[in-house]
A and B are shown apart, each in its own frame.
Chain A
Amino acid sequence: GEDVEQSLFLSVREGDSSVINCTYTDSSSTYLYWYKQEPGAGLQLLTYIFSNMDMKQDQRLTVLLNKKDKHLSLRIADTQTGDSAIYFCAERFGGYQKVTFGIGTKLQVIP
């Protein structure tokens, strides 16, 4: 079945690292995505990882994938107040292209 789970809330101090976690249930997922949604704004694709990868780094963002445990994480280094937003984990199945979203984690960055 399709189910993506995330914790609801994370609070960090400016300059610290943030780690947002996600678990999914369907091992046939092909792509796993991280989206950012700021208040009143649309969804911004931050990064994604292909299911045969373990890690992907893009500037301040590091995505780790543990396929055995079906666990995905997003690490934001040197978190800034502009990183305050809701972060959605999502999975997509090859071929069909349907994307299933988690509930979203609200990241609060304290100055």
Chain B
Amino acid sequence: SAVISQKPSRDICQRGTSLTIQCQVDSQVTMMFWYRQQPGQSLTLIATANQGSEATYESGFVIDKFPISRPNLTFSTLTVSNMSPEDSSIYLCSVALENEQFFGPGTRLTVL
């Protein structure tokens, strides 16, 4: 299995500011994924991050709003830029190891 940690676990931010979320995995993985879970909703994939290349964004998500870094095989960051209250969500990092898909504990973001 994979152990995934995220920082911060939660934050309250003012609109117009940016927050960078860190994801650390205890093993090397090719792909890391960033998901969003809005209140009372299911999970939606934001983007897929490969080490050494630009992230691939899903429909409705853009790099300017959610820039992602993937400097090595165990770490990634997601930045939520120019935040608005609509960005209040849980943001989850995920990795696939063989048949299984694991998720981090999530970062609970509240934008005022």
Binding site for B on A (CB under 8 A): 31, 33, 35, 41-43, 45, 48, 50, 88, 90, 92, 97-104
Asked if B110 is at the interface of the complex by the 8 Å CB criterion, the answer is: no
Q: A88-B42, A101-B42, A104-B42 are in contact. Are A33 and B101 (CB under 8 A)?
A: yes
Q: How far is the CB of A98 from chain B (nearest CB, A)?
A: 6
Kindly identify which residue among B33, B41, B104 contacts A103, using a CB–CB cutoff of 8 Å. Answer: B41
Kindly identify which residue among B31, B41, B100, B105 contacts A45, using a CB–CB cutoff of 8 Å. Answer: B100
**Which A residues are CB-close (under 8 A) to B45?**
98-100
| Cβ-defined contact, B103 with A101, below 8 A | no
Q: A88-B42, A104-B42 are in contact. Are A42 and B104 (CB under 8 A)?
A: yes
Stretch at the interface among B11-19, B75-83, B91-99: B91-99
Tell me the complex Cα distance, A57–B15, Å: 48
| Cβ-defined contact, A45 with B43, below 8 A | no
**Which A residues are CB-close (under 8 A) to B61?**
none
Asked if B48 is at the interface of the complex by the 8 Å CB criterion, the answer is: yes
Within 8 A of A (CB), among B25-58: 31, 33, 41-45, 48
Tell me the complex Cα distance, A35–B42, Å: 11
**Which B residues are CB-close (under 8 A) to A100?**
45
Interface of A is mostly: strand
| Cβ-defined contact, B42 with A45, below 8 A | no
Tell me the complex Cα distance, A88–B104, Å: 16
**Which A residues are CB-close (under 8 A) to B31?**
97
Q: A102-B42, A103-B42, A104-B42 are in contact. Are A45 and B104 (CB under 8 A)?
A: no
Residue from A43, A97, A99 with most neighbouring chain B CB atoms (10 Å): A43
**Which A residues are CB-close (under 8 A) to B92?**
42-43
Q: How far is the CB of B15 from chain A (nearest CB, A)?
A: 24
Kindly identify which residue among B41, B94, B100 contacts A48, using a CB–CB cutoff of 8 Å. Answer: B100
| Cβ-defined contact, B100 with A101, below 8 A | no
